[in-house]
Structure 1
Amino acid sequence: MNKYTERLYNGLVKENPTFVLMLGMCPTLAVTTSAINGIGMGLSTTVVLVLSNMLISMLRKIIPDSVRMPAFIVVVASFVTIVQFLMEGFVPSLYASLGIYIPLIVVNCIILGRAESYASKNPVLPSMFDGIGMGLGFTFGLTCIGIVRELLGSGKVFDIQVLPESYEPITIFILAPGAFFVLACLTALQNVMKKKALEKGDVKKAEKIGCGTNCAECGKKETCGNLK
Structure 2
Amino acid sequence: MNRMKNFTAGFVRENPVFSLYLGICSTLAVSTTLNNAIGMSVAVIVVLVLSNMIISAIRNITPNEIRIPVYIVIIAALVKIIQMLITAYAPALDTALGTFIPLIVVNCIILGRAEAFASKNNIFDSALDGLGMGIGYMFALLIMSAIRQLLATGVLNFANPFDMTQMIFEIRIIPAEYVISMFSQPVGAFFTFAILAAGVAAYKNHLEAKAKEQEKAEAALKKAAKEA
TM-score normalised according to structure 2 size: 0.84
Question: Does 2:199 match 1:186?
Answer: no
Which of 92-101 and 185-194 deviates more?
185-194
The offset of 1:168, in angstroms, is 3.0
Which of 115-124 and 161-170 deviates more?
161-170
- Of 176, 181, 197, the match for 1:171: 181
Supply the RMSD in Å over aligned alpha carbons. 1.8
Decide whether aligned partners of structure 1 residues 57 and 161 sit closer, same or farther in structure 2, where only a CA change above 3 A counts.
Answer: same
CA contact (8 A) 1:9 1:133 kept: yes
Whole-angstrom distance in 1 between the partners of 2:3 and 2:104: 25
Secondary structure, aligned partner of 1:72: helix
Task: Choose between structure 1 and 2 for higher RCO, CA contacts under 8 A separated by at least 6 residues.
Answer: 1
Give the equivalent residue in structure 2 for 1:203: 211
Secondary structure, aligned partner of 2:21: coil
Question: Residue type of the partner of 1:174?
Answer: S
1:13-162 map, 5 Å: 13-159=12-158, 160-162=170-172
CA contact (8 A) 1:3 1:126 kept: no
The offset of 1:158, in angstroms, is 2.5
Question: Residue type of the partner of 1:19?
Answer: F
Whole-angstrom distance in 2 between the partners of 1:191 and 1:139: 18
Give the equivalent residue in structure 2 for 1:10: 9
Question: Residue type of the partner of 2:157?
Answer: F
The offset of 1:92, in angstroms, is 1.6
Deviations 1:91-112 (A, max 9, x none): 2221111010000000001000
The offset of 1:115, in angstroms, is 0.4
Q: Is there any run of 5+ residues in structure 1 with no aligned partner, and where?
A: 207-228
Question: Residue type of the partner of 1:186?
Answer: L
Secondary structure, aligned partner of 2:125: helix
Question: Residue type of the partner of 2:184?
Answer: I
Give the equivalent residue in structure 2 for 1:211: none
CA contact (8 A) 1:27 1:101 kept: yes
Secondary structure, aligned partner of 1:19: coil
